[in-house]
Amino acid sequence: MIDFKNKISEEIAKVTQLEVKEIESYIEMPPNEEMGDYSFPCFRLAKTLKKAPQVIAQELKEQINVDESLIEKVEVMNAYINFFVNPKALTETVLTEVTEKKEKFGSSNIGEGKNIVIDYSSPNIAKPFHIGHLRSTVIGSALYKIYSFLGYNCIGINHLGDYGTQFGKLIEGYKRWGTEYNIEENPIDELTKIYVRINNLCKEDESVLDACRDNFKKLEDGDTYCVEIWKKFRELSLKEFQRIYDLLDVKFDSLNGEAFYSDKMQEVVELLEKSGKLIESEGARVIDLEDKQMPPCLIEKTNGSTTYATRDLAAILYRVRTYNFDKALYVTSYEQILHFKQIFEVSKLLGIDEKYTENLVHIPFGMVQLKTGKMSTREGNIIKLEDLLNESISRVKEIIETKNPELEDKDEVAKIIGIGAVIFNDLYNSRIKDEIFDWDEMLNFNGETGPYLQYIYVRTNSLINKAGYVPEIKNVDLKLLQDKASIKVLKCLYNFGDIIKQSADKYEPYIIARYLIDLSQAFSSFYNENKIIGEKQEIQDARLLLTYAVGIVLKSGAKLLGIKMPNKM
Ligand code: ARG
């Protein structure tokens, strides 16, 4: 595809002292059409050239000599030089590229040979999979798909919370009352009940607490009975989590959770000892981080047992050695910002190369706020995620029953739309913002929602089906797509690849989500203004080709977010 920004930059480079790459980084996309498609601000040149930026803009404009078949017009506005892309060149390059590459349009190989580890979802065994884990799952999985599309080799890790002293308690509870609870049927609920009960007993009776500690110690030492029960808890919980992953269609390359590191923490402790920074503090061992304005990082508790942080440090070592990563990402709520700051700092004491410790990235996200009253909850405030996803599906099913009862594959379509709505709602805002969970809003087919995207996609699809063919680009007169609405759609399509890169650079899937809404809205205006089927053949062909291209990009963009498209709805 023609890289307009690069072409412009090359021309500017010829008449200034600047490098093409540098110019590219200065070029902006103006906020409105009157200012052109690309804009070069001249402020930076003022210092070296010792002239007013407006004067520089005027002078440069006279010297720049861009090919008119690419850039149709160059104008100066204050200190900016504005460039207007030639619509014919735009149309041709976009449609050629989309029809050639199809679902690969927008992909790239900038990540070739680079490994990215993504730690996401990571729920805790025997505890409810809560809505924060949903966010981690959805954001992490989107990043996985986005980076893969850019050619990176991604390794998705579900760092399960399957270790820690609470398992000593659970084992004790299970020993005492295991037969009273149906953990096979309903593992998380039942194990949670056992946990609450044993916790209460521990508060009353110190000796029970000792027994729990003893169980955990035994578990660490590989005691057959304890390990067996622990395994059972883990398997049953995973089976329950798997139902959620199936609904969301999320996958992992590794399920190495915290327990996996149980035999790998000794090395961490030794390395930290060697660094001379591991100090005693009130019976525990910590790394002091006062000079980094952080509380100390707890490595070993008073009773000698290790911590969440120690396991994460062992995981860093392991991931360095196993995956030789260029980047390691961790997707959790912002509540863990301090934890990751601490372990990233401490990781510098493990004797691994800076290229690893500098590329550990925490990707925090905001909390989910529920619009009260409408959410069906079970016990107290814990919302069961599976219920929530199923509720979304059944709400969509109801809508379909009233609006389009004849639809084929109603159940499958309801699932695609219901799940898509939840995922889109999760990804539509900058991740650090708290998310509002409001059924009416996220299921509004005319809003900025998943169902809206799917609806527009279905429209492109049904237009193609109605026509019964996709025109071949060599037979299409591209001059017929030069009206405002068509050009707007084409410009949007042109930007897809750039949008994906931005989204990856900032770890922000919402950039793609917003883009898809923009594209849908642009297509919707195009569709409202232009008759497609039943026009003169050549006009129909041109508009149909554009429609086809929009469908492709909507579908592959949605796929990057983990959202599927129905063929009909
Ligand atoms: N299990 C943790 C939780 O539920 C999240 C783990 C995130 N990953 C990590 N490597 N610490 O809060």
190-214 pLDDT tens trace: 999 999 999 999 999 999 999 999 9
What DSSP letter does each residue of 429-465 carry, written as one string? S-TTSPEEE-HHHHT-TTSSSHHHHHHHHHHHHHHHH
- Cβ atoms of 351 and 320 within 8 Å: the answer is no
Residue 80: strand pairing partners: 41, 77
The residues carrying an active-site annotation are: 127, 130, 133
Distance, CA 233 to ligand 1 centroid (Å)? 18
* Count of structural domains, the chain: 2
Domain presence at residue 445: yes
Asked if pLDDT for residue 373 goes beyond 60, the answer is no
Identify the CATH number of the domain in which residue 25 sits: 3.30.1360.70
On whether the CB atoms of residues 493 and 557 are closer than 8 A, the answer is no
Q: Which of 117, 159, 311 to mutate to test the pocket of ligand 1 (most atoms within 8 A of CB)?
A: 159
Query: Could you tell me if the CB of 241 is within 6 A of ligand 1?
Result: no
Nearest partner of 519 among 539, 558, 552, 489, judged by Cα: 489
> Is residue 273 pLDDT above 70, yes or no?
yes
Residue 435 Cβ inside 6 Å of ligand 1? The answer reads no
Is residue 288 scored above 90 in pLDDT? Answer: yes
**Model-level pTM?**
0.95
pLDDT mean over 134-155? 98
26-85 pLDDT per residue, tens: 999 998 889 999 999 999 898 888 999 999 999 999 999 989 999 999 999 999 999 999
> What is the C-alpha to C-alpha distance for residues 405 and 398, in angstroms, rounded to an integer?
9
- pLDDT digit string, tens, across residues 5-40: 999 999 999 999 899 999 999 999 998 889 999 999
The 10 Å Cβ neighbour count of residue 369 is 12
- When pLDDT is averaged across residues 176-193 and rounded to a whole number, the result is 93
- Residue 43: enclosing H or E segment and its boundaries? helix 43-49
Residue 327 within a domain: no
Model confidence pLDDT, tens digit, residues 422-457: 999 999 999 999 888 899 999 999 999 999 999 999
**Relative to the CA of 160, which ligand 1 atom is closest?**
1
Task: Answer yes or no: is the C-beta of 136 below 6 A from any ligand 1 atom.
Answer: no
Closest CA to ligand 1's atom 11:
312
Q: What is the pLDDT of residues 480-513, one digit of tens each?
A: 999 999 999 999 999 999 999 999 999 999 999 9
| Res 47: pLDDT | 86
Domain final residue pick, 66, 85, 104: 85
Token code pair at residue 554: 């909507």
Of the candidates 391, 475, 400, the residue with the CA atom closest to the CA atom of residue 439? 391
DSSP per residue, 548-565: HHHHHHHHHHHHHHT---
Q: Would the CB of 159 count as within 6 Å of ligand 1?
A: yes
Contacts of 314 (CB under 8 A, 6+ apart): 261, 264, 265, 267, 268
146, part of any domain: no
Q: In CATH, what number is assigned to the domain containing residue 472?
A: 1.10.730.10
Q: Flag whether 192 is in a domain.
A: no
Q: In terms of residue numbers, what domain contains 396?
A: 385-561
Could you report how far apart the first and last alpha carbons of the chain are, in Å?
34
In a domain, 350, yes or no: no
Final residue of a structural domain among 58, 85, 112: 85
The answer to whether residue 322 sits within a structural domain is no
Could you tell me if residue 405 is inside a domain?
yes
Q: Can you tell me the mean pLDDT for 219-239? A: 94
Last residue of a domain, one of 43, 68, 85: 85
Q: What is the pLDDT of residue 245?
A: 97
Tell me, what's the pLDDT at 372? 61
- Strands 71-77, 80-85: parallel, antiparallel or unpaired by DSSP? antiparallel
- Indicate whether 376 pLDDT > 60: no
